[in-house]
Structure 1
């Protein structure tokens, strides 16, 4: 979603978009220089690197775990543990030489580490900016665990995580938190401080973890008066160094660190982790396609480095296998989508527009054919009570005015109706009875009934969609935005609409799902309290939201 500063250049011409549409990964390798190709094909730990002499951790003179710890991707008996060594996080090299560092890790059943159940040594490679990704295995399934890292005499804070239950486990309940859209320059991450204190099993980050826009010395709307950020943040991210530094800025935030240290995360990106409103290999602005794919390669590389992701998600050049499936016993299947990397270009230059031939073309796709087939096949095979889709942009129909033919967003699924129709038909063909779509992007909280026909309020309800508001993007917000009355009247399947910041929790059990919209009155100053603005339930076998 666009929140660009004023003066931002507009999306480029249809002719340039058409030219870019034909640039794929093979063409990328043909168009880039040898140096650029080397930057993303060879800049990896080489065979035999592990035998090379490491940096003596005793030479690390300052605390290296400045970006905290994190965990994610919970499987039965396994979870990913993450950290990065950065004694000087706002410097391009993080304050370390280009040498590998051995980092010890351990997992325990208790916070005091009296009962350690797994330990080992990982390598923080300079090629990966001294990040560490540990696939801790052999753990008890469906259990809370505690973890920490050590480099020399330096000990990280203790993180708390959770493994998924066994696939055949008859889990009674699960609570997830949905978060999205955390523009550093738009305010404080107070929502994360509250989330760190909330009792949830899993956090789903639905996109825009990072924003590419410049952050001035005052931190934008944060208005720092007791500190000044380095000028190296005061430009848009383009290079690998830019993206790495921007993650360092975000991850030094203590509230974000607290949430990561308390809960495992499952993440997916939207547009701002790379560039606003890009579509596949097509950039927002008028730059050569090969130049944009270099930028995308840098963005994807930094994203993997800075998230608790497994090795299959490691990008190759500008390509990243991010869509994936996780299971929570017999209770829930999570299908995590990527609606950026494979989509058709936005119709009508991405502007709000009435549906038309360009947007309604039957070959248009939001997910790409391979991901779409993977999703539908996964539903046919699913044995879970709840099928949860974690994705980025609004899935439900959302008319933006009260005209007989209303404008809709060309960046959301409304701009790809044929793609949405195939997905909805897939829901029916697979006999999915309890569908929950969790969405980010819109900077406001929404609750939708997913209709078989969004133009017919009496058509069958196939599931529900919960749109989590932003953590900060859009600044303070308001309970009822100026378009509240219009949206509620134009969309009879819309049950809730709120413009404040925060996050949403969804509790799934064997009888119902309950969504609680948690909101903050402000984010441009720290310390805001949190309240539950509204709660809704949808029953197993009887889809449709009602107030709790």
Structure 2
């Protein structure tokens, strides 16, 4: 939730949908023009002399690194049938601004094998770790066999990274029998331990979807907030809000130093999507939370987006250009599942009613308002139109289904979620119906609780058709321990008859999709205030293929 007293630039009159599209395009061009002509300001967010894409590799450079440079682990992501993206970052001193690497460019070797002992290395190569990219390494390994588990590692000088395990997607036309995935979100470091991620690392899933708030911009004190059982004194560089590129880079170093997070990345390929806290709480497009000029906020956004790409297993297509980055993208798991990963933060209209809970009204229901922007909305509908997948999975950030906060006729709704963009949601629901999407599964983060929801054609009519299923994956740590049954549990369940489950503990969602049904398990831990808490299944639901709607398993 956003704090009160925000200063928002609100529209003074209603716009037509055409005006909204043209306005979005104008803002985009203004951003590009801003960074083009304001070189001095842009330099605040970016280093200079960034190597060009496709540049010829320099001769091999092996720095004299005297400490383990692989302190932040390894990761893989966005698996394709013949390719997977491998990531690491060199940081022998992760809590220093340069990671202890200085400005030297370093050659890093990578290897891929089918066994964890690397008895028979299938592929190997080298990549340069540039200071301009904070010595991160992104290797798009191609020529792999579909539907195969691989092991990978990196080496520079005498140092060898931990081993990572990944897998490729099945062939595009394969009648894949099943898919197991984990969904997580919201991992405020200062709110507790990443026990949830340790359990996820040990779970038998094919891929992990991270649905946003990978890090938080808020200050972390020297004790690490709620991490009372860790004998570590953090430097003062973390005890301030992230504003600059150096701040965001260091904050990723803090988060990625966590052993449980490193274990989850090493165990499974990740598909990542950002929400607000990777930049700033509840921002909307180029409009910040507080009274900051958009041109100033765009510098901060550019820094945040740059650091995000540097620290995630993302391909070159997601590399930011100034304050813009196309993070929405599409992946497939044979003909079993299509993943349409949304970005509901970068292109959205400003939150209505000063981003405070409010009943639906002319401002929030303006048909010109958009959650996704026109281009992404059309991309989503076009993807559904051409989809041959049994399950159309939509990983995204904020609650899609209606969520009334009380039982009155004019019950307030969240203006930051899709409830504040009802016309945009109606267009997406209508598009799902028009394109014949039968098995629509929405995976959501943000809210720090677990919900199981039937997606209704008309949320105000409980008897209307159910068109899909939404589950929210609670949080990894944000919100601290939480409670199994929040104080407003009975009120929410009565106010929202399409809500089938509501739980306030920390955890993740485990989903198993096959040709008959999708099973959804809410896996929760008893506490994140102490390390090593056990995990249990709080509830399980099934939604049958061709018969949308949730039933207890």
Normalised by the size of structure 2, how large is the TM-score?
0.95
Query: Does residue 253 of structure 2 align to residue 260 of structure 1?
Result: no
Q: SS state of the match for residue 396, structure 1?
A: coil
Tell me which moved more, 45-54 or 177-186: 45-54
* 2:95–2:250 CA contact under 8 A, matched in 1: yes
Query: Does residue 165 of structure 2 align to residue 170 of structure 1?
Result: no
| Aligned equivalent of 1:192, options 197, 200, 208 | 197
Query: Does residue 349 of structure 2 align to residue 349 of structure 1?
Result: no
Post-superposition shift, 1:37?
Answer: 2.4
Q: For residue 448 of structure 1, what is the aligned residue in structure 2?
A: 453
Q: SS state of the match for residue 260, structure 1?
A: helix
Query: Does residue 331 of structure 2 align to residue 326 of structure 1?
Result: yes
* 2:178–2:513 CA contact under 8 A, matched in 1: yes
Query: Does residue 119 of structure 2 align to residue 114 of structure 1?
Result: yes
Post-superposition shift, 1:141?
Answer: 0.5
**Equivalent residue pairs, number:** 541
Cα 1:432–1:283 change in 2 (3 A) is same
Question: Distance in 2 between the 1:56 and 1:141 partners?
Answer: 34
Q: SS state of the match for residue 504, structure 2?
A: strand
Q: For residue 236 of structure 1, what is the aligned residue in structure 2?
A: 241
| Aligned equivalent of 2:424, options 403, 419, 425 | 419
Post-superposition shift, 1:56?
Answer: 2.6
Question: Distance in 2 between the 1:502 and 1:15 partners?
Answer: 37
Post-superposition shift, 1:50?
Answer: 5.0
Pairs within 5 Å for 1:130-145:
130-145=135-150
* Consecutive unaligned residues in structure 2, runs of 5 or more: 14-22
Post-superposition shift, 1:24?
Answer: 3.8
* 1:387–1:435 CA contact under 8 A, matched in 2: yes
Query: Does residue 25 of structure 2 align to residue 30 of structure 1?
Result: no
Post-superposition shift, 1:190?
Answer: 0.4
Query: Does residue 378 of structure 2 align to residue 373 of structure 1?
Result: yes
Pairs within 5 Å for 1:481-496:
481-496=486-501
Q: For residue 533 of structure 2, what is the aligned residue in structure 1?
A: 528
| Aligned equivalent of 1:45, options 47, 51, 55 | 51
Q: SS state of the match for residue 220, structure 1?
A: coil
Pairs within 5 Å for 1:69-218:
69-218=74-223
Post-superposition shift, 1:116?
Answer: 1.6
* Consecutive unaligned residues in structure 1, runs of 5 or more: 3-7
Cα 1:54–1:200 change in 2 (3 A) is same
Post-superposition shift, 1:404?
Answer: 1.3
Question: Distance in 2 between the 1:361 and 1:329 partners?
Answer: 39
Per-residue deviation, residues 14-70 of structure 1 (Å, max 9, x unmatched): 46999x99754534643774222245485411589756566433x000000000000
Post-superposition shift, 1:222?
Answer: 1.0
* 1:29–1:37 CA contact under 8 A, matched in 2: no
* 2:229–2:530 CA contact under 8 A, matched in 1: no
Per-residue deviation, residues 139-193 of structure 1 (Å, max 9, x unmatched): 1100110000000110001100010000011100001100000000000000000
Query: Does residue 406 of structure 2 align to residue 401 of structure 1?
Result: yes
* 2:10–2:350 CA contact under 8 A, matched in 1: no
Cα 1:52–1:379 change in 2 (3 A) is closer
Per-residue deviation, residues 367-408 of structure 1 (Å, max 9, x unmatched): 000000000000000000000000000000111111112110
Q: For residue 223 of structure 1, what is the aligned residue in structure 2?
A: 228
Q: SS state of the match for residue 399, structure 1?
A: coil
CA RMSD of aligned residues (A): 1.8
* 1:173–1:508 CA contact under 8 A, matched in 2: yes
Post-superposition shift, 1:527?
Answer: 1.0
Question: Distance in 1 between the 2:54 and 2:411 partners?
Answer: 61
Per-residue deviation, residues 247-272 of structure 1 (Å, max 9, x unmatched): 00000000000000000000000000
Question: Distance in 2 between the 1:312 and 1:46 partners?
Answer: 13
Q: SS state of the match for residue 78, structure 2?
A: strand
Q: SS state of the match for residue 406, structure 2?
A: coil
Cα 1:210–1:49 change in 2 (3 A) is same
| Aligned equivalent of 1:12, options 7, 15, 21 | 7
Question: Distance in 2 between the 1:259 and 1:51 partners?
Answer: 31
Post-superposition shift, 1:93?
Answer: 0.5
Q: For residue 458 of structure 1, what is the aligned residue in structure 2?
A: 463
Cα 1:110–1:41 change in 2 (3 A) is same
Question: Distance in 2 between the 1:263 and 1:486 partners?
Answer: 38
Q: For residue 5 of structure 1, what is the aligned residue in structure 2?
A: none
Per-residue deviation, residues 270-315 of structure 1 (Å, max 9, x unmatched): 0000000000000001111111000000000000000000100000
* 1:23–1:289 CA contact under 8 A, matched in 2: no
Q: For residue 19 of structure 2, what is the aligned residue in structure 1?
A: none
Cα 1:49–1:166 change in 2 (3 A) is closer
Cα 1:131–1:225 change in 2 (3 A) is closer
* 2:34–2:295 CA contact under 8 A, matched in 1: no
Post-superposition shift, 1:228?
Answer: 0.5
Q: For residue 517 of structure 1, what is the aligned residue in structure 2?
A: 522
Post-superposition shift, 1:359?
Answer: 0.1
Question: Distance in 1 between the 2:452 and 2:189 partners?
Answer: 26
Cα 1:53–1:173 change in 2 (3 A) is closer
Cα 1:75–1:528 change in 2 (3 A) is same
Question: Distance in 1 between the 2:528 and 2:375 partners?
Answer: 40
Question: Distance in 2 between the 1:132 and 1:94 partners?
Answer: 14
Per-residue deviation, residues 386-431 of structure 1 (Å, max 9, x unmatched): 0000000000011111111211000000000000000000001101
